[in-house]
């Protein structure tokens, strides 16, 4: 089974959904060129309000296309960019990756996974009930956040739909993803 990018999105404004683009350029240490969340320090408004000097561990938001299919089957017709992601993937178990995994997107760009996206109430403003649909429970009763992962850009480059995704795991021991 292959692993590839299905869509790329960005928005220069702080909007919940991001329009789909033909390509995006990732900038090392900054994020997605032209995106409101571009920067070395935090850009998400709630995090800026708490401490604007904190490092931006949320430069790139990735969601797996399989989540869109799961949500559609549950009555939530969500498409690429509508949950604020920059990159939509297929064939990568994003939620199962350990912290520090590097994803090569296309020929040059590399994103290092920093943690999980913590679903927020904006999901329900977009589609009532969507927040509950992206939060589940595992067999032990622990919370499972399904709204994608966040990362930082280690190497810049152009990313387009159809680009292959390479996965490079960090050295063990693996640390599970937690919200960032």
User: In this structure, is residue 159 part of a structural domain?
Assistant: yes
User: In this structure, is residue 176 part of a structural domain?
Assistant: no
User: In this structure, is residue 77 part of a structural domain?
Assistant: yes
Q: How far apart are CA 80 and CA 131, in angstroms?
A: 17
User: In this structure, is residue 175 part of a structural domain?
Assistant: no
Which pTM does this prediction carry? 0.96
Instruction: Give the closest residue to 4 by CA, choosing from 165, 118, 124.
Output: 165
Q: What is the dihedral of CA 83, 3, 57, 61, to 10 degrees?
A: -10
Determine the 3-state secondary structure of 70 from DSSP. helix
Copy the structure tokens of residue 95: 């939620």
Determine the pLDDT at residue 43: 86
| Measured CA distances, 51 to 21, 35, 119, 125 (Å) | 31, 20, 20, 26
pLDDT at 44 over 90: no
Per-residue model confidence as pLDDT tens digits over 63-99: 999 999 999 999 999 999 999 999 999 999 999 999 9
- Sign of the four-CA dihedral 73, 75, 76, 80: positive
| Residue 154 pLDDT class (50, 70, 90 cuts) | very high
Q: What is the mean pLDDT of residues 28-53?
A: 90
Q: How far apart are CA 50 and CA 177, in angstroms?
A: 22
Q: How far apart are CA 1 and CA 158, in angstroms?
A: 24
User: In this structure, is residue 173 part of a structural domain?
Assistant: no
Determine the pLDDT at residue 52: 85
Residue 153: give the domain boundaries: 4-168
Residue 93's Cβ-count burial label (10 Å; 0-12, 13-18, 19+) is exposed
* CATH number of the domain encompassing residue 14: 2.40.33.20
Tally of domains in the chain: 1
75-85 in b/e form (b: 16+ CB < 10 A) is ebebebbbbbb
User: In this structure, is residue 91 part of a structural domain?
Assistant: yes
Average pLDDT, the chain: 95
Determine the pLDDT at residue 180: 93
Determine the pLDDT at residue 35: 97
Q: What is the mean pLDDT of residues 172-180?
A: 96
Determine the pLDDT at residue 25: 98
């Amino acid at each position: 089974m292959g692993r590839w990018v299905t869509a790329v999105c960005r928005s220069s404004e702080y909007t919940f959904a991001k329009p789909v683009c033909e390509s995006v350029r990732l900038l090392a240490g900054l994020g997605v060129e032209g995106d409101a969340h571009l920067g070395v320090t935090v850009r998400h408004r709630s995090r800026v309000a708490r401490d604007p000097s904190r490092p931006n561990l949320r430069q790139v938001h990735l969601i797996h296309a399989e989540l869109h299919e799961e949500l559609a089957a549950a009555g939530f017709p969500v498409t690429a960019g509508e949950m604020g992601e920059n990159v939509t993937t297929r064939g990568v178990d994003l939620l199962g990756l350990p912290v520090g995994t590097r994803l090569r997107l296309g020929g040059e760009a590399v994103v290092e996974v920093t943690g999980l996206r913590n679903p927020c109430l904006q999901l329900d403003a977009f589609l009532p009930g969507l927040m509950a649909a992206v939060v589940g429970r595992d067999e032990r009763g622990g919370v499972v956040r399904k709204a994608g992962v966040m990362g930082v850009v280690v190497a810049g480059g152009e990313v387009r739909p159809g680009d292959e995704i390479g996965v490079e795991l960090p050295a063990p021991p693996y640390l599970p993803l937690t919200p960032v």
